[in-house]
């Protein structure tokens, strides 16, 4: 038996990222195509002296905050993907930290907040991407049952 097998891996390929639109604006709760969106959001570069960082929904289900965090990490969090699933992005997505403060019109479930944050990233960073599947080589370790008598 060959322990090497091919697996299918889903990747999120970033194909274009533009400049950020002004740092504060108001958005409707439902945008074109019935995408969920925050009512109000602020997106701005972090201050140079910023320390630490993180991204999290706040209690109450209405606010989502990211502090001093690169766009790549925001994408990993709200799309629930791993680092290796993002390919083709510009270098600044890993190195330039951002602050985001977004508020929904009404309390929402976590999956709705993630969808709102995805809409925010697409709108403010002009993020365009596609999903693709790739076959990758991997190794599987298993116990030989004939040896475990």
Ranking 21-30, 37-46, 110-119 by mean pLDDT, the lowest is 21-30
Query: Residue 93: helix, strand or coil by DSSP?
Result: helix
Which stretch of DSSP H or E encloses residue 130? Answer: strand 128-139
Query: Residue 76: helix, strand or coil by DSSP?
Result: helix
**pLDDT tens across 66-81, in order?**
999 999 999 999 999 8
pLDDT for res 24: 36
Biggest CA-to-CA distance, the chain: 68
> Residue range 128-132: average pLDDT?
77
Answer whether 0.85 is exceeded by the pTM.
no
> Residue range 25-37: average pLDDT?
57
51, 99 contact by CB (below 8 A): no
Give the orientation angle of helix 71-79 with respect to helix 110-124, to 10 degrees. Answer: 140
> Residue range 109-123: average pLDDT?
94
Percent with pLDDT over 90 in the chain: 44
> Over 60: is that where the pLDDT of 98 sits?
yes
């Amino acid at each position: 038996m060959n322990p090497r097998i091919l697996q299918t891996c889903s990747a999120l390929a970033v194909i274009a990222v533009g400049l950020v639109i002004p740092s504060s604006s108001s958005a409707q709760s439902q945008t074109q195509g019935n995408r969920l969106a925050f009512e109000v959001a602020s997106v701005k570069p972090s201050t140079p002296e910023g320390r630490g960082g993180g991204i999290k929904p706040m209690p109450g289900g209405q606010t989502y905050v990211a502090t001093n965090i690169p766009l790549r990490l925001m994408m990993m969090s709200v799309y629930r993907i791993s680092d290796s699933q993002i390919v083709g992005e510009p270098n600044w997505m890993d190195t330039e930290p951002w602050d985001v403060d977004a508020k929904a019109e009404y309390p929402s479930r976590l999956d709705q907040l993630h969808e709102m944050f995805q809409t925010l990233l697409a709108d403010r960073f002009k993020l365009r991407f596609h999903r693709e599947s790739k076959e990758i080589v991997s190794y599987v370790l298993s116990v030989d049952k004939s040896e475990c008598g």
